[in-house]
Structure 1
């Protein structure tokens, strides 16, 4: 649905050029929720603005729905942009227009008849839960309500793609969760492709199918959220996850505790239904090794439950090796960390 090929964006002239994106490649599949996470200045906002050509790339190609946007003339580009909805961090609503008129605005620009506009706006008001607020102005709304107006407005032209530029970073945690639930509902109901950028790992964990980590204008890690969360490879990814997952903090606390020289320190990761099964206790009963759970966490990544344990195994080395192998045979991820 979205394909970026060797995308480069440079600001300034040759003597004082600043490169925001450098040879970036990215593919987003139809119907998925794809997250891009990175620190401030990593190139996130430039990336998302290049997709709908609010920023024109210096080099590279932007494909959306099988159409190369970077080759289109102005009028053709305007037509294609109708298939790309966008919601913003600070809402970008018309302050002098009501909720109803804010949502209707793109339809009026398209010349849609008044009766069709009314039907569409009322449908969207119900979808985002703002039917009772349609005559209010933005100043009379909460942050979460303003973002719901922004979402409804972005959906007015029936887009194939929804771009979200830090859509929840200006909201409190409870409101953030309600907006994420709404985006998830929209994705499932309309099979709408959603690409969102954020600096919050919680957002990625809650609703995304896949994630890319952007750093210094390039993608440094990419994959299914479960894989990136549970087995991060890049330093930047580990930084984000260590802030989000209690497991990493717990490990830092317990890793300073002196262990017997013969103990084996192991991180065990459970995914899916196995998160709630007594696999560890079953295996150690078979092998007879002693163990102590030093730290543990259970949570979910989108709809997938997972668990992580930091465990100290004590006993005969051969028996400990057998225990770890039996755990692996039961489809658990086992990593010796000390």
Structure 2
């Protein structure tokens, strides 16, 4: 669906040359919600603007539906961009236009018949829950309502791709959750590919299927959210999780427990249906070791449940090894802490 090949972007010339992106390779499948997370200045917004060529890459290729966008002339690029919607952190609404007129704006640009505009705007107002706000102006709306208008406007041209540039950063937590639920609904209803730029790990955790972590203009880690979140490999990824996740203690592998003779402390991770199964108790029943749960949590990554436990096993070295082998054989991830 979308593939970025060795994308670089630099600004300035000579001694003032400033690299913004370096060697970006990403592949995003149709219907995915793909998150890109990074700190301020990491290159997130530049990356997303390179996808629709609002920023033209210095080098590299941007493929969407089998077409290299970087090779299109201005007229053909304009046509392709109509199938790429975009929503922004600060909404970018026309302040002197009503909600209705804001949503209708992209349709009027391509001279859509007024009857079809009316039908489409009515449909989109219902989709985003603003049926009773058509004649209001942006100044009369809350932040969440403004973003809903922005989402409706971005969908007016029936896009295949929706780019979200820090779409929830200006919103309070409750409103953020409602917008994220709306994006998931849109994704599922229209099989719309969504690329979501954020610096908030809980946004990635809530709705994304896959994630790429960007740092200093390069991708340092990417993959399914479950893999990246539960087993982060890069320091920047760990920093996001440790500082923004409720599971900071569990994800911290430097965690220490009181020293108990003939014991081993491990982190056990469960994923999917195994989260609710009695695998731990069944395993120790067969191996005969004692155990103490020192910490634990159950949560979800998008719609996938996961659990993590810090467990101290007590017994002989052989019995503890058989216990860990048994847990691993059942599909659990086991990491020795001390």
Q: Place the TM-score, normalised by the shorter chain, in its bin.
A: over 0.9
The Cα of 1:261 is off from its aligned counterpart by 4.5
Describe the SS at the equivalent of 2:77. Answer: helix
Describe the SS at the equivalent of 2:16. Answer: coil
Q: Deviations over 1:256-307 (max 9, x none)?
A: 4432253211000011111111111111111111111111010001111000
The answer on whether the counterparts of 2:256 and 2:337 sit within 8 Å (CA) in structure 1 is: no
How do residues 1-338 of structure 1 correspond to structure 2 at under 5 angstroms?
Answer: 1-249=1-249, 255-338=255-338
After TM superposition, the structure 1 stretch with the greater mean CA deviation from structure 2, 152-161 or 59-68, is 59-68
Q: Deviations over 1:121-153 (max 9, x none)?
A: 000000000010010000000000000000000
TM-score by length of 2: 0.97
Describe the SS at the equivalent of 1:15. Answer: helix
The Cα of 1:69 is off from its aligned counterpart by 1.0
Counterpart Cα distance in 2 of 1:4 and 1:325:
40
The answer on whether the counterparts of 1:296 and 1:310 sit within 8 Å (CA) in structure 2 is: yes
The answer on whether the counterparts of 1:100 and 1:121 sit within 8 Å (CA) in structure 2 is: yes
The answer on whether the counterparts of 1:37 and 1:212 sit within 8 Å (CA) in structure 2 is: yes
Counterpart Cα distance in 2 of 1:14 and 1:254:
45
The answer on whether the counterparts of 1:254 and 1:295 sit within 8 Å (CA) in structure 2 is: no
Counterpart Cα distance in 2 of 1:301 and 1:76:
39
Describe the SS at the equivalent of 1:197. Answer: strand
The answer on whether the counterparts of 1:251 and 1:295 sit within 8 Å (CA) in structure 2 is: no
After TM superposition, the structure 1 stretch with the greater mean CA deviation from structure 2, 4-13 or 243-252, is 243-252
The Cα of 1:253 is off from its aligned counterpart by 11
Counterpart Cα distance in 2 of 1:251 and 1:40:
23
The Cα of 1:62 is off from its aligned counterpart by 1.0
Taking a change above 3 Å as real, the CA distance of residues 320 and 256 of structure 1, as seen in their structure-2 partners, is: closer
Counterpart Cα distance in 1 of 2:208 and 2:159:
19
Q: How many residues align?
A: 338
**Where in structure 2 are there 5+ consecutive unaligned residues?**
none
Describe the SS at the equivalent of 2:286. Answer: helix
Counterpart Cα distance in 2 of 1:226 and 1:26:
18
Describe the SS at the equivalent of 2:307. Answer: strand
The answer on whether the counterparts of 1:251 and 1:310 sit within 8 Å (CA) in structure 2 is: no
Counterpart Cα distance in 2 of 1:21 and 1:155:
29
RMSD: 1.3
Counterpart Cα distance in 1 of 2:226 and 2:183:
20
Q: Deviations over 1:26-76 (max 9, x none)?
A: 111111110000111110000001111111111111111211111111111
TM-score by length of 1: 0.97
Counterpart Cα distance in 2 of 1:233 and 1:258:
27
Describe the SS at the equivalent of 1:147. Answer: helix
After TM superposition, the structure 1 stretch with the greater mean CA deviation from structure 2, 261-270 or 242-251, is 242-251
